[in-house]
Each structure stands twice: as C-alpha cells, then as structure tokens.
A and B are shown apart, each in its own frame.
Chain A
Amino acid sequence: MIEVRFHGRGGQGAVTAVRILASALYLEGKYTQAIPMYGTERRGAPVVAFLRIGESRINERDLVHNPDIVVVLDPLLSRTVPVTDGLKEGGLIVMNFPKPGNEAGIGGRFRLATVDATGIALEALGRPITNTAMLGAFAKASGLVSLESLEKTLLEQWPGRLGEMNLRALRTAYERVTPPVDVSGIQALGKRPQEEIFSRDVSSWRIFKPQLDEGRCVGCRRCYIYCPEVAISMTQGKARVDYSSCKGCGICGEECPTGAISMIQEVL
C-alpha cells in the first residue's frame, strides 16, 4: 500500500485533488481511498487530505501518519506546517515552489521535486488554485499514475472549458516539474511554531496583497465592512490595511467602488 498526504490551504483544492487522483488510479486498476480532513473550514487555513493506494479493498479507516509521498500545494506552507512529519525515509516530496528546490528549507533523507504551480495556475486558470497543476507534477515525479488517466478524470469532473483550462495546468506542470533530487545534505528550516487555524498572523497565507491608492479612497467603508478578517481599519477617513491580519482574499478590491484597492502578487 502507498500512502500520500496532501498539504494545502482552504480553497486550493486539496480535497478535490485526492478525489481526482483516486478516480484516475482506479481507472488503472488500483483500489483507492481519498480521505479529506475536515475541521472548521476557513479559506486560506492550512488543510490536509490523504490518499491510500492499494491492490485490493483497503480496510484501514484511520488517518495516514507515515506517508510515502507528501504533496505541498502552497509555497509558504512549509515554513509553518511540519510537512515532512512522519514521511518515510527515502520518501518523495512534490512541492509548489517557484525557486530552486534547495531554497525550500526542506532537508532530510527525502527526495524533493518542485514546480511553480502558482505561476502555472495563474497562467492557465487566472486563479491561484494549484491542485490540478500539482496533480501533473505528482504524476511525473512519482510515476504512479499516467497523465492520460488524470486527463480523462479531469474532463469527467469538469466537462467543457473549465476542464480544458485545468488540463492546461496539469500538462504544463507535468512538463515543468523538476526531477526529484536528494535533499539529505540540506539543512532543514528549524522548527517553527505550527500554524493554527485561528492564527492571528495570516500574512503567510497571501498570494496577492491589497494596495491602497489613498488619492482614490473616498472613505466609504465598504472594504472595512466586507473584510472577513477585520484587517481594515479607518484612519482619518481613509482605509488602512493591517497586513499581519490580511490573508489576501481580495474581497476589499472587489467591493471598492472607486478602484482604490488593487491586488498585487506577493514575491516569494
């Protein structure tokens, strides 16, 4: 039996990813189990999902504690979530990371493959939903599932244009993912406090950051009212963003009637 753990953030599609993978593997004659880990859902909060791959019916109904493979859907997640916990020696990490893998802060007796899934998702979908790109990277790096089975499953899940867009993300990541490299010589990032679902500092959740053009702000308070994280305050009639509380959801920019708030991609 092969066990896989997916790490992502609420909204990046980790649950959908394990389900698609389970269906695709089933097409190849494998028995699968796709387990989402539900808690108090909050967009941007760290989430996990699991996948078991076996040759016959899988009886275990507990969670996966010692995965063979870890897939990380978000480039900053590994700074606060111990993504390699319990990973078997010689295990594989497939990670969304835009820079060379040795800068990812992942070290140990593992192999690491990286791909800029956020960049690919923005290109293919126009949104930073990285799950389908990461499935492409998983297929190539692990060799456990064929691109064809994933493509077939994707088109069943989303017939039409949405499916085509996701196919593009899948294929691009399949082509661009780096071959797995040994990271046993790399110093892993030190233990950091584990990220909590109700964490106050959510700045690492952001892919886009709101930027305010004060000249265009008319002080209407819409952004202040709609912000789900109470990250916006009003100072002298103008909006002010507290970036430690802002998770970058972009609702303020959507609601601003004068276009004073624009969303700018964060640089890792």
Chain B
Amino acid sequence: MRRWEVMVGNKAIAYAAKLARVQFISAYPITPQTSVVEYLAEMVASGELDAEFVNVEGELTAQTAALGASAAGARAFTATSGPGLLYMHHPMHMTSGGRFPVVMAVIHRSVKGMQPDHSDMMAQRDTGWIMLECENSQELLDTGIMAFKIAEDERVRLPTIFAGDGYILSYTAEPVEIPAQEDVDAFLPPYRSKYPLLPGLADEARRVQMEQWGIGQDPQLRWRRQQEAMEAAKMVIREVNEEFYKWFGRRYGNGLVEEYRCEDVEAFIVAMGTIASTARTAIDRLQARGKKIGLVKLKSFRPFPSEEFKRLGAMVKAIGVIDRNISLGSGGITFQEIRSSLYDLDERPRVLGFHAGLCGKEVRVGDIEMICEKTLRAAEGEEVTPLVDWV
C-alpha cells in the first residue's frame, strides 16, 4: 500500500534501496558517511530488508565490495558523500569498466568543507557512471528506484549515481510518498546478471570480461563500448522515466531535462539539484511580473543531454547557467557543456554563467531572480558583463 511519511532525504534514499530489494550494501559507517546507511542497517537488522550489510574500513573498499557483489550477480548499493566519494575514485573506474550496475547514492558535500556543492561528484564526472541529480526528497526516492532499472538495462549495464544536496535535502524533513512494495516489484524485477562471475557460469562471464577489459583486441574498444552504452542510456532513461510515470504517477521531465514554464519564453536558466527547486519560485514570481523566462532543470548530468539543449537553445535568445561547481582554471562545468551543445546551431543564443551555492553558500529566491534578470537583459541584446559571475 502507498503511504506518506514526513522524512528526511537520507531516509528517502534508504527507502529507495529497500524498495528495490537490494541484496548487498557496503558502507564505511562514519563521517563523511550519512544516516542513509544507518536507516538501512536498521532495516537489515530488523529483518525488514533481506540483504547482506557489510561494514568496511574505508570507501575504497566500500566501492570494491559493491563491485564484487555486483560481479557475482547481486543487486548492490552503496552510499557516500564528499571526501568519501573522492576516496572511491579509483575503484569507480573499475566498476564502470567491468560494466557492473552498482547503484550509489551521493549526498553532496563540498570537497572544501561540510556544506554542499557538486565538487564531489564533478570530480568523478569521467569515471563512466551515470549521474542523476535530484531536487527534493520525493525525487531522491523515485530516482533511486529508477536508477536500478536504468543501470541494469541490457543496453546500458553501467553503474549509476543518484544525488542530492547535503543538509538542504539530507537532513530536511518533508512529506514523501512511499510507493507500495508490490508496485515496485512489478516495475523493477529482480536483477538477473547475464554474466555472473560464479563457479560453473564463469566461462561466458570471463569471455565477456576479457572483452570488456579489452584483452586481445583494439585496446580503445572498452572506452568506445562504454561511450556507446552512455549514448544508449539517454533513450533508456527516457523510457524508464515514462514507465515510472505509468506505475507511480510521477515523472521528472523527460528523464534527462525538465522544462518548467518554458512555453513562449525569450530566455531560460539552467540549474541542477535544489537550486532548481528554489528557481521554480523565482520563475513564478518573474512570470507573474510578465517576464518571459523559464527554467530547465538538468537532471541527467551523465549522460549529458546535448541534443536537448540544442533543441531548447534554438527556441530562446539567452540562457543563464547556474553552476554549483567549478573546474578550476577553466570554469563552470555545465556552462561549458551547454555552450558546446549549442555550437552547431545557425543562430546561437547568448549563454551566461553563474557560480552559486558553492561550499553551501545560501542561494535565495532573490539571487535567482537577479540571475534571471541579467539573462533577460542579454536576451534583449544588451552587452552584459561579466560573462561569468559569482553570485
């Protein structure tokens, strides 16, 4: 039976793992770990969830253990945050390289402090993981369930992160609908690995593994295959998003991006995570004042929906991109990727960059209104400077 509960984001994540009937959970139990694994440990201890819970001695092992469990054919889950995610970096390449559909919750914490920004996940952007970003606790729960279906899809077979901002979601309580277990079971059948590394079944698995690791063939091929899987994931994410809607009545845009009040606008802003949530209020206020600006929420950071931005970019005169990250020495990461997506357009919109919310700096509705107004000025043809601003 569906039911509602007022819960913090971390509990919503734990519910996603529980409803997905994960069979294996590995976690390093102390800081920077979050209460996600405490809730899961309780569920396992009380018998609510039939899973192997392994306390390990660090995040490097947490990731490696999840990889191993997934290789053996289990549905594996782990969770981490900030510096813990940095410590996982090395085995994360192995998880994606081995095409093991591990699902991991990332509770954003800046690599420079306790408060959230996306620097922890951005440091993993090239590890070959699918990365899905959430703006509220309901979306964390829903995306967590979808993540398994996307990761395990035969066309994808890639590990998947679903992420939310620390504190702003992780410890904030709000009402969340918990789907019925039987619905989730129907939506997400048990994981059946085609190539489990188990005694007796290992020969075929070894052959696939050899191929995945590029042994005896074009050494570049394993990168290429993963890139093809990422491209295929775009379609799979859209399909899973629609199927989720049929079962549970909620969807998140088209799974890759979500347009909010983008009909008949001259400009839009782009945001990820909780900033996108606050931005909805800013857009509501501006449209009430007759301003023609909308919001595009970037939900799938990897694979990056370039085609979507090309399509959306053709419709407007300016785009304001909010980055809760920075690639030092270069700039805002989504700013650059969106600009690059627009290059092939005959008439390109102006693209402005904004750094906001780094190290947990508060992003208020008024800050986003200011971003919108600057973007609108650019849409009207005004030479706005600087091109990239710190909010």
Q: What is the bound-complex CA distance between A44 and B165, given in angstroms? A: 27
A 30-44 contacts with B by CB, 8 A:
31-36, 38
Cross-interface CB contact of B173 among A19, A38, A57, A59, cutoff 8 Å:
A19
Q: Interface code B101-122, partner A: CB below 8 Å = 1, 0 otherwise?
A: 0000000000000100000000
A 15-29 contacts with B by CB, 8 A:
15, 18-19, 22-23, 26
Cβ contact within 8 Å between B362 and A33: no
Q: Interface code A32-72, partner B: CB below 8 Å = 1, 0 otherwise?
A: 11111010000000000000000001111111010000000
- Chain A contacts for B281, CB-based, 8 A: 59-60
B 273-319 contacts with A by CB, 8 A:
274-275, 277-278, 280-281
Task: Name A residues whose Cβ lies closer than 8 Å to a Cβ of B.
Answer: 15, 18-19, 22-23, 26, 31-36, 38, 57-63, 65
Residue in A closest to B278 when the chains form the complex, CB atoms: A61
Cβ contact within 8 Å between B174 and A22: yes
Q: What is the bound-complex CA distance between A22 and B171, given in angstroms? A: 13
**Can you report 10 A-B residue pairs in the complex whose CB atoms are below 8 A from each other?**
A15-B171, A22-B174, A26-B4, A32-B174, A33-B173, A59-B277, A59-B281, A60-B365, A61-B274, A62-B364
Q: Interface code B360-379, partner A: CB below 8 Å = 1, 0 otherwise?
A: 00111100000000000000
In the complex, given contacts A33-B173, A63-B362, what are 10 additional A-B residue pairs having Cβ atoms less than 8 angstroms apart?
Answer: A19-B6, A32-B6, A32-B173, A32-B174, A33-B172, A34-B6, A36-B167, A36-B172, A60-B277, A61-B278
Q: What is the bound-complex CA distance between A59 and B168, given in angstroms? A: 12
A-B contact count (CB 8 A): 58
For A32, A35, A36, A59, which residue has the most chain B Cβ atoms within 10 angstroms? A59
Q: Which 8 A-B pairs have the closest CB atoms?
A: A34-B173, A61-B274, A59-B280, A23-B6, A62-B364, A61-B278, A35-B172, A19-B173
- Chain A contacts for B174, CB-based, 8 A: 22, 31-34, 58
Residue in B closest to A34 when the chains form the complex, CB atoms: B173
B 202-236 contacts with A by CB, 8 A:
none
Cβ contact within 8 Å between A32 and B175: yes
- Chain A contacts for B173, CB-based, 8 A: 18-19, 22-23, 32-34
